[in-house]
Homo-oligomer: A and B are copies of this chain.
Amino acid sequence: MNSDARDDGNEQSHLSLSGERFTAVYRLSGSASEAESRARAICLEQTVEFPDALIPSEAIRAQIVGEITAIAPCPIDDGNSGCEVGIRYPIETAGREFTQLLNVLFGNVALQPGIRLQRIELPPRLLQHYRGPRFGIAGLRQRLGVRHRPLLCTALKPMGLSPIELADLTYRLALGGIDLIKDDHGLSDQRFCPFDERVSRCAEAVARANQKTGRTSLYLPNVTAPADEIVPRAARARAQGAGGLLLCPGLTGLDSLRRLADDDQLALPLLSHPALLGGLSLGPNQGVAHGVLFGTLARLAGADATIFPSYGGRFAFSTTECREIATSARTPLKRLAPIWPVPAGGMRLEQVPELVRFYGHDSMLLIGGDLHVSPDLTARCRDFLTLVEQSAEQLSNH
């Protein structure tokens, strides 16, 4: 190729993209008069990352660069005004890769203040690359044999207990009727609680309890791990009888969740934990909106259930933010199964009726510490179950 050819804007381009696009809606702080030039800058930043005037061909300008669809003023949570800006990107820029989709949606602009990824809209031709959740709400209900009520979830803790002690906890929690018993997300493979020993003992304990109760409780070990150990640990966990897996995609990368979800040999329900990831949701006008981060993206990555800090606990998410997450988790999204919103983070049993009213039947309540306030853990789990059943029944009658 002649080394000057690319400077010729009229050259015959090899580019022939479909013309199909996906949409990101951003919220920009600042005045409407600045919004248009900032939106144009985003169109370049997230694609060619190149000055407009220097783009070497019209084909690239027309087919690769983002397009503004709409700019509309909107209020921002911090009380200031701002604008919502819709930008359409060619589906081919994201290819078939989740990492690259994230990059186009929010890679470089994550480094700029005053911009928040508010919503995304993905057409079927892009969504076809994502299998999404293997179980979702319906699949997990089927596996558990629980048809109508919200699910009960808890965490094995505190860190520092031995595998034998955690297995004993698991047994008592399952006996009390907890549906999903997950590792605390701080349990990895520490010497004082090695992964393999913990998993085999806790899986054995839950099986023993299930045999006694005739119910199905699942044990979900934490497979958040070094990049090359996630899949091997998941496979060993399955072999040892784990009923699902917990992963912190903020620590491992969101695509590690997708990798586990797409694994046909594994085929286990996946619970997503928000550690570190959640940092991207804070701030009224930066990062990624709660619904997108904990809802849409977790679902695209294949989570069957998405944990987030609920209002009313020891974190600071608002009811609006929590509702946004629950909606994004469950709203129809082409062939991607709806998933379980899992409010968590310091909730107490006395809040169960209110939480069930707020989150509805298709939610999973994760209560940890507050199950341990009574010496009889199993009895307290039964209280939790009764409260959920009663609250669900009340909800049905309204």
By a beta-carbon cutoff of 8 Å, the part of chain A in contact with chain B is 1, 3-4, 6-7, 14-15, 17, 41, 45-51, 54-57, 59-60, 63-64, 92-93, 95-100, 102-104, 106-108, 110-113, 155, 157-162, 164-165, 168-169, 171-172, 184-186, 188-192, 224-228, 230-231, 248-253, 255-256, 258-259, 274-283, 286-288, 309, 314-317, 345, 368-369, 372-373, 375
Contacts and interface: CB of A to CB of B under 8 A. Distances in A.
Given A3-B172, A49-B159, A158-B49, A315 B112 contact: yes
Contacts of A113: 282, 316
22 contacts: A15-B192, A47-B186, A48-B157, A49-B159, A49-B184, A50-B369, A54-B369, A57-B160, A60-B160, A92-B191, A95-B190, A97-B226, A100-B188, A100-B251, A103-B186, A103-B188, A107-B275, A226-B258, A227-B230, A227-B258, A228-B231, A251-B255
B15 A160 contact: yes
Given A15-B192, A102-B276, 20 more contacts: A41-B314, A50-B157, A50-B369, A51-B369, A51-B372, A55-B158, A56-B161, A60-B160, A93-B159, A97-B189, A99-B252, A103-B224, A103-B275, A111-B274, A112-B316, A227-B227, A252-B255, A276-B280, A279-B287, A283-B283
A251 B99 contact: yes
Contact of A49 (B95, B112, B157, B281): B157
A48 B158 CA distance: 5
A103 B276 contact: yes
A95 B7 contact: no
Nearest to A117: B279
Nearest to A175: B3
A165 to B, nearest CB: 5
A106 B375 CA distance: 32
A228 B258 CA distance: 10
A226 B256 CA distance: 8
Nearest to A369: B51
Contacts of A253: 227, 249, 251-253, 255-256
A261 to B, nearest CB: 11
A259 B274 CA distance: 23
Nearest to A44: B158
Contact of A279 (B110, B158, B373): B110
Contact of A275 (B108, B227, B314): B108
A375 B104 contact: no
A165 B8 CA distance: 12
Given A190-B93, A252-B255, A160 B63 contact: yes
Contacts of A309: 111
Contact of A54 (B111, B168, B372): B372
Contacts of A54: 369, 372-373
Contacts of A155: 49
A226 B160 contact: no
A296 B30 CA distance: 33
